[in-house]
Structure 1
Amino acid sequence: MLSNPKGYPIDLNADLGEGGANDAALLQVITSANIACGGHTGDQSSMQTTVKLALTSGVHIGAHPSYPDGENFGRQPMVISDQELLTSLYQQINSLKAVCDSLGAKMFHVKPHGALYNQAAFNEHLGGILIDVIKRIDPTLKLMILAGSPLVNQAKSHGLTIIEEAFADRRYLANASLAPRQMQGAVIEEDAQAMEQVEQLLANKPLTTLDGALLRLRADSICIHGDNEHALSLAKLISARLTAGKKL
């Protein structure tokens, strides 16, 4: 099981440094922060601010790279050469690493963002580029990726340590992929519904996918999207649930 600073029975992560209003408050309840590093958003100033907050809060710090596509917030597939993508990811992750180094913080993991996250989880070639970049920068960096996806075993076979991630606020399809955001119901808007999914994940009970299947996921970490309007209220609910000391 992934250790975490607050003693939760499971890691709780959020994507930060994306211009959301609740980063500082979220850092009080989460245990891992995925910090945007210039691909979909984020710059030197936002990285420094978020790393300082994360360092004060004692959470695990991770890089959150994406396709270099700020116009679409990294949420659309991108036509890009392998070399261009490799170079961009290398620069993004290294930019956050440099900020961490300058502030005496340790970078713990890498979690890709948006379309790159979803595609690399199922595309062996894209997964290979991501693995290559991480190994070039620091092979001890953990890779946070979609639980149950082919990239889990692919990355393990290349010697990386994996954090399998499930989502509190997103629905799934039968193949364990996230339902596309344009599908009705893909984003869980109600805290009560999100907590129901969290309870199913904690109890290792199957989730009902949007295409009608039952899907069982084993997760090391639960994600909250930091840019959602209800991210903070949901994070507090999950934190209270985990703090209650109930066993998985």
Structure 2
Amino acid sequence: MTRTIDLNCDLGESFGAWRMGDDEAVMPYISSANIACGYHAGDPGTMRHAVALARRANVAIGAHVSLPDLAGFGRREMRVSIDEAHAMTLYQVGALAAFARAAGTRLTHVKPHGALYNMAARDAALADAIAQAVHAFDPALRLVGLAGSELPRAGERAGLVVAHEAFADRRYEADGSLVSRREADAVIDDVGGAVAQALALARGEAIAVRGGAWLQVHADTICVHGDRPDAARFAQHLHRALLDAGIAIARPAGRRAA
């Protein structure tokens, strides 16, 4: 049976006169796009353009929801209440859904960004707030979260289809969490090393983690970071390596809780 993996990328992260990434160059090599909704990056024009690019490339469109932190690119933790987390998720999903609807398409998934993503991976109450907001907007949406963490578990409790996510270019701790970006070795900058890790994840093989241990990660989808300086080249290399290894690239079907 042919293995299949989703390749997702965080896109639409420019705003105003500030430019981040090369969405158009990355889009042909991925199957899902997580588009910033104005809280950590993105603005109305950028959101509309990213949706149009994804629709043209037949790439699944998802809302990349964040803490309200433009200055810190959403990577600084903030103390937010459960009600605030629910409301900010609903607000951002609704904003991107408006652009999708105007373009004649629809959202397929929601993925938190940065600090919110990592907080929800640990905090079941916060994860539940995000999952319930997604369900309240559209129970057909897929919730994407760190593989094996509280976020996909919350999605299942809410009755959502979930996608367990792994990262091609991030290093892992032995407990399955990501090495903090405050650490010098948090990101695998070498394209060859990141592609090798992604291939192992797509094949269901264990990957090396910090400290010399090995970790088994179930992955429905693998993230390619759009803010890498070489994001387009990396996405192209990874796309070709997966196909050469006999691994198909397609949107995830996900799994609904029983």
| Coarse TM-score class (shorter-chain normalised) | over 0.9
Give the C-alpha shift of residue 134 in structure 1.
0.3
Moved more, 237-246 or 194-203: 237-246
Could you tell me which runs of 5 or more consecutive residues in structure 2 were left unpaired when the two chains were aligned.
15-19, 249-258
Q: CA RMSD in A?
A: 1.7
Distance (whole Å) between structure 2 residues aligned to residue 155 and residue 88 of structure 1: 17
Give 2:114's aligned amino acid: G
Corresponding residue for residue 227 of structure 1: 227
Distance (whole Å) between structure 1 residues aligned to residue 86 and residue 110 of structure 2: 14
Corresponding residue for residue 9 of structure 2: 14
Instruction: Tell me how many residue pairs correspond in the alignment.
Output: 243
Corresponding residue for residue 55 of structure 2: 55
Corresponding residue for residue 236 of structure 1: 236
Could you tell me which runs of 5 or more consecutive residues in structure 1 were left unpaired when the two chains were aligned.
2-6
Give the C-alpha shift of residue 8 in structure 1.
8.1
SS at match of 2:108: strand
Give 1:103's aligned amino acid: A
Distance (whole Å) between structure 1 residues aligned to residue 196 and residue 6 of structure 2: 18
Corresponding residue for residue 119 of structure 2: 119
Q: Is the CA contact (8 Å cut-off) linking 2:6 and 2:221 kept in structure 1?
A: yes
Give the TM-score of the pair, scaled to structure 1: 0.93
Stretches of 4+ aligned residues off by more than 3 angstroms: none
Distance (whole Å) between structure 2 residues aligned to residue 130 and residue 208 of structure 1: 31
- Provide the identity percentage: 41
What is the 5 A alignment of 1:132-143?
A: 132-143=132-143
Give the TM-score of the pair, scaled to structure 2: 0.90
Corresponding residue for residue 171 of structure 2: 171
Distance (whole Å) between structure 1 residues aligned to residue 143 and residue 59 of structure 2: 16
Show CA shifts across 1:74-114 (max 9, x none): 10110223323322221111000011111111100000000
Distance (whole Å) between structure 2 residues aligned to residue 42 and residue 8 of structure 1: 34
Q: Is the CA contact (8 Å cut-off) linking 2:21 and 2:229 kept in structure 1?
A: no
What is the 5 A alignment of 1:201-212?
A: 201-212=201-212
Q: Is the CA contact (8 Å cut-off) linking 1:67 and 1:78 kept in structure 2?
A: yes
Corresponding residue for residue 4 of structure 1: none
